[in-house]
Structure 1
Amino acid sequence: MTYILGTNLNPKKKIKFALSQIFGIGSNKASQICDKLGLSNTFKVSHLTKYQIDEIISIITQNYLIDSELKRIIQKDIKRLIFIGCYKGFRHNEGLPLRGQRTHTNAKTSRKKKTFFYLDK
Protein backbone atom coordinates (compact mmCIF):
# COMPACT_ATOMS: atom_id res chain seq x y z
CA MET A 1 0.00 0.00 0.00
CA THR A 2 1.27 3.44 -0.92
CA TYR A 3 0.62 6.07 1.74
CA ILE A 4 0.12 9.61 0.40
CA LEU A 5 -1.05 12.50 2.59
CA GLY A 6 -3.03 10.45 5.09
CA THR A 7 -4.59 8.09 2.56
CA ASN A 8 -3.61 4.54 1.70
CA LEU A 9 -3.76 4.07 -2.06
CA ASN A 10 -4.55 0.65 -3.48
CA PRO A 11 -1.55 -0.51 -5.57
CA LYS A 12 -3.79 -2.31 -8.08
CA LYS A 13 -5.70 0.83 -9.06
CA LYS A 14 -4.83 3.29 -11.78
CA ILE A 15 -3.22 6.49 -10.54
CA LYS A 16 -6.12 8.73 -11.59
CA PHE A 17 -8.67 6.77 -9.58
CA ALA A 18 -6.34 6.23 -6.64
CA LEU A 19 -5.60 9.96 -6.29
CA SER A 20 -9.32 10.74 -6.35
CA GLN A 21 -9.67 8.78 -3.08
CA ILE A 22 -7.92 11.67 -1.30
CA PHE A 23 -10.52 14.06 0.16
CA GLY A 24 -10.48 17.23 -1.94
CA ILE A 25 -9.09 15.70 -5.13
CA GLY A 26 -11.55 14.66 -7.80
CA SER A 27 -11.00 13.14 -11.19
CA ASN A 28 -10.16 16.46 -12.88
CA LYS A 29 -7.52 17.41 -10.32
CA ALA A 30 -6.09 13.89 -10.46
CA SER A 31 -5.78 14.20 -14.24
CA GLN A 32 -4.04 17.57 -13.85
CA ILE A 33 -1.55 16.07 -11.40
CA CYS A 34 -0.84 13.19 -13.79
CA ASP A 35 -0.31 15.65 -16.65
CA LYS A 36 2.13 17.74 -14.59
CA LEU A 37 4.18 14.62 -13.82
CA GLY A 38 3.95 13.26 -17.34
CA LEU A 39 2.16 10.08 -16.26
CA SER A 40 -0.65 8.53 -18.23
CA ASN A 41 -3.98 8.04 -16.50
CA THR A 42 -3.62 4.27 -16.96
CA PHE A 43 -0.40 4.14 -14.91
CA LYS A 44 -0.77 1.88 -11.85
CA VAL A 45 0.08 2.96 -8.31
CA SER A 46 2.33 -0.06 -7.80
CA HIS A 47 4.66 1.19 -10.58
CA LEU A 48 5.33 4.56 -8.92
CA THR A 49 8.88 5.27 -7.80
CA LYS A 50 9.84 7.07 -4.58
CA TYR A 51 10.72 10.16 -6.62
CA GLN A 52 7.30 10.20 -8.31
CA ILE A 53 5.53 9.80 -4.97
CA ASP A 54 7.49 12.74 -3.55
CA GLU A 55 6.62 14.81 -6.62
CA ILE A 56 2.92 13.98 -6.24
CA ILE A 57 3.01 15.02 -2.59
CA SER A 58 4.78 18.28 -3.36
CA ILE A 59 2.36 19.18 -6.18
CA ILE A 60 -0.69 18.45 -4.03
CA THR A 61 0.55 20.37 -0.98
CA GLN A 62 1.56 23.42 -3.02
CA ASN A 63 -1.50 23.72 -5.24
CA TYR A 64 -4.54 22.16 -3.53
CA LEU A 65 -6.38 22.20 -0.22
CA ILE A 66 -6.99 18.67 0.99
CA ASP A 67 -8.20 16.59 3.90
CA SER A 68 -8.30 18.32 7.31
CA GLU A 69 -7.61 21.83 5.96
CA LEU A 70 -10.50 21.56 3.51
CA LYS A 71 -12.84 20.03 6.11
CA ARG A 72 -12.01 22.86 8.53
CA ILE A 73 -12.80 25.50 5.88
CA ILE A 74 -16.11 23.80 5.01
CA GLN A 75 -17.15 23.63 8.67
CA LYS A 76 -16.17 27.29 9.14
CA ASP A 77 -18.34 28.30 6.17
CA ILE A 78 -21.32 26.33 7.52
CA LYS A 79 -20.95 27.91 10.97
CA ARG A 80 -20.85 31.36 9.35
CA LEU A 81 -24.07 30.64 7.46
CA ILE A 82 -25.76 29.51 10.68
CA PHE A 83 -24.47 32.56 12.59
CA ILE A 84 -25.73 35.14 10.09
CA GLY A 85 -29.13 33.44 10.05
CA CYS A 86 -29.53 33.00 6.32
CA TYR A 87 -31.80 30.43 4.71
CA LYS A 88 -29.00 27.96 4.01
CA GLY A 89 -27.81 28.25 7.58
CA PHE A 90 -31.30 27.50 8.87
CA ARG A 91 -31.54 24.45 6.62
CA HIS A 92 -28.12 23.23 7.80
CA ASN A 93 -29.21 23.66 11.40
CA GLU A 94 -32.43 21.72 10.85
CA GLY A 95 -30.75 18.99 8.81
CA LEU A 96 -32.87 19.59 5.74
CA PRO A 97 -31.87 19.81 2.06
CA LEU A 98 -30.36 23.19 1.16
CA ARG A 99 -30.73 23.70 -2.55
CA GLY A 100 -34.47 23.58 -3.20
CA GLN A 101 -34.91 19.81 -3.30
CA ARG A 102 -38.34 18.38 -2.70
CA THR A 103 -38.97 17.36 0.91
CA HIS A 104 -42.58 16.13 0.74
CA THR A 105 -41.75 12.68 -0.63
CA ASN A 106 -37.96 12.66 -0.85
CA ALA A 107 -35.33 13.48 1.79
CA LYS A 108 -37.02 11.29 4.37
CA THR A 109 -33.72 10.26 5.87
CA SER A 110 -32.63 13.85 6.38
CA ARG A 111 -35.95 14.70 8.02
CA LYS A 112 -35.62 11.77 10.44
CA LYS A 113 -32.39 13.13 11.89
CA LYS A 114 -34.01 16.05 13.74
CA THR A 115 -37.41 14.54 14.54
CA PHE A 116 -38.50 14.91 18.13
CA PHE A 117 -41.30 12.93 19.72
CA TYR A 118 -43.28 14.40 22.59
CA LEU A 119 -45.43 12.09 24.65
CA ASP A 120 -48.44 13.39 26.54
CA LYS A 121 -48.72 12.08 30.07
Structure 2
Amino acid sequence: MKTFSSPECQGAHRAMRDTLDVIGGKWKLVILSIMLQRKWRFKELVREIGISPRILSKELQELEMNKLVTRTVCNTRPITVEYEVTPHSRSLETVIQALREWGVMHRQEVIGKKEPAQVEAIV
Protein backbone atom coordinates (compact mmCIF):
# COMPACT_ATOMS: atom_id res chain seq x y z
CA MET A 1 0.00 0.00 0.00
CA LYS A 2 1.38 3.40 -1.00
CA THR A 3 1.44 6.18 1.53
CA PHE A 4 0.99 9.84 0.76
CA SER A 5 4.63 10.36 1.61
CA SER A 6 5.88 7.89 -1.01
CA PRO A 7 8.18 9.36 -3.67
CA GLU A 8 5.52 8.78 -6.35
CA CYS A 9 2.90 10.68 -4.37
CA GLN A 10 5.28 13.48 -3.51
CA GLY A 11 6.17 13.85 -7.19
CA ALA A 12 2.51 13.86 -8.18
CA HIS A 13 1.65 16.45 -5.55
CA ARG A 14 4.58 18.64 -6.61
CA ALA A 15 3.47 18.42 -10.26
CA MET A 16 -0.09 19.40 -9.29
CA ARG A 17 1.17 22.37 -7.23
CA ASP A 18 3.39 23.46 -10.14
CA THR A 19 0.43 23.26 -12.52
CA LEU A 20 -1.85 25.25 -10.22
CA ASP A 21 0.87 27.86 -9.68
CA VAL A 22 1.03 28.43 -13.44
CA ILE A 23 -2.66 28.25 -14.48
CA GLY A 24 -4.52 28.66 -11.20
CA GLY A 25 -6.64 31.62 -10.24
CA LYS A 26 -9.78 33.23 -11.52
CA TRP A 27 -8.60 34.42 -14.93
CA LYS A 28 -5.70 32.46 -16.43
CA LEU A 29 -7.65 29.58 -17.93
CA VAL A 30 -10.35 31.94 -19.16
CA ILE A 31 -7.69 34.07 -20.86
CA LEU A 32 -5.97 31.05 -22.42
CA SER A 33 -9.28 29.58 -23.54
CA ILE A 34 -10.12 32.74 -25.45
CA MET A 35 -6.60 33.25 -26.76
CA LEU A 36 -6.46 29.76 -28.28
CA GLN A 37 -8.75 31.10 -31.03
CA ARG A 38 -6.42 33.73 -32.54
CA LYS A 39 -4.08 36.67 -31.87
CA TRP A 40 -5.62 39.37 -29.70
CA ARG A 41 -4.92 43.02 -29.05
CA PHE A 42 -4.90 44.06 -25.42
CA LYS A 43 -8.06 46.17 -25.58
CA GLU A 44 -9.89 43.40 -27.45
CA LEU A 45 -9.09 41.02 -24.59
CA VAL A 46 -10.30 43.52 -22.00
CA ARG A 47 -13.65 43.78 -23.79
CA GLU A 48 -13.99 40.08 -24.61
CA ILE A 49 -13.20 38.85 -21.11
CA GLY A 50 -14.76 41.68 -19.10
CA ILE A 51 -11.66 42.16 -16.97
CA SER A 52 -9.97 45.33 -15.77
CA PRO A 53 -6.88 46.38 -17.75
CA ARG A 54 -4.74 46.26 -14.60
CA ILE A 55 -5.69 42.66 -13.78
CA LEU A 56 -5.38 41.55 -17.42
CA SER A 57 -1.92 43.09 -17.64
CA LYS A 58 -0.79 41.25 -14.50
CA GLU A 59 -2.23 37.93 -15.70
CA LEU A 60 -0.67 38.28 -19.17
CA GLN A 61 2.73 39.08 -17.63
CA GLU A 62 2.54 35.89 -15.56
CA LEU A 63 1.44 33.83 -18.57
CA GLU A 64 4.30 35.31 -20.60
CA MET A 65 6.78 34.56 -17.80
CA ASN A 66 5.62 30.92 -17.91
CA LYS A 67 6.02 30.76 -21.71
CA LEU A 68 2.29 30.37 -22.38
CA VAL A 69 1.79 33.72 -24.15
CA THR A 70 3.92 35.92 -26.38
CA ARG A 71 3.66 39.70 -26.48
CA THR A 72 4.39 41.60 -29.68
CA VAL A 73 4.62 45.38 -29.84
CA CYS A 74 3.49 46.43 -33.33
CA ASN A 75 5.15 49.34 -35.11
CA THR A 76 1.93 51.30 -35.58
CA ARG A 77 0.63 54.70 -34.57
CA PRO A 78 -0.73 54.54 -31.96
CA ILE A 79 1.35 51.59 -30.77
CA THR A 80 -0.62 48.38 -30.50
CA VAL A 81 0.30 45.26 -28.57
CA GLU A 82 -0.76 41.79 -29.68
CA TYR A 83 -0.83 38.65 -27.59
CA GLU A 84 -0.75 35.10 -28.85
CA VAL A 85 -0.55 31.66 -27.28
CA THR A 86 2.69 29.71 -27.64
CA PRO A 87 3.04 26.15 -28.89
CA HIS A 88 3.68 25.20 -25.24
CA SER A 89 0.28 26.57 -24.19
CA ARG A 90 -1.41 24.52 -26.92
CA SER A 91 -0.58 21.47 -24.80
CA LEU A 92 -3.34 22.71 -22.45
CA GLU A 93 -6.08 22.54 -25.12
CA THR A 94 -7.35 19.11 -24.05
CA VAL A 95 -7.33 20.18 -20.40
CA ILE A 96 -9.27 23.37 -21.21
CA GLN A 97 -11.79 21.44 -23.32
CA ALA A 98 -12.27 18.90 -20.53
CA LEU A 99 -12.83 21.73 -18.02
CA ARG A 100 -15.41 23.34 -20.33
CA GLU A 101 -17.28 20.06 -20.65
CA TRP A 102 -17.16 19.47 -16.91
CA GLY A 103 -18.39 23.03 -16.30
CA VAL A 104 -21.44 22.44 -18.51
CA MET A 105 -22.16 19.14 -16.78
CA HIS A 106 -21.68 20.70 -13.34
CA ARG A 107 -23.97 23.62 -14.13
CA GLN A 108 -26.65 21.18 -15.26
CA GLU A 109 -26.19 19.12 -12.10
CA VAL A 110 -26.32 22.07 -9.70
CA ILE A 111 -28.67 24.50 -11.42
CA GLY A 112 -30.72 22.09 -13.51
CA LYS A 113 -31.14 21.48 -17.19
CA LYS A 114 -30.49 24.43 -19.47
CA GLU A 115 -31.89 25.09 -22.91
CA PRO A 116 -29.61 23.51 -25.58
CA ALA A 117 -28.75 26.95 -27.02
CA GLN A 118 -27.58 28.11 -23.58
CA VAL A 119 -25.45 25.02 -23.03
CA GLU A 120 -23.79 25.41 -26.43
CA ALA A 121 -23.09 29.08 -25.70
CA ILE A 122 -21.16 28.08 -22.57
CA VAL A 123 -18.89 25.81 -24.59
Same fold (TM over 0.5): no
Structure ID, larger Rg: 1
Give the structure-2-normalised TM-score.
0.31
**Structure (1/2) with the larger strand percentage:** 2
Give the structure-1-normalised TM-score.
0.31
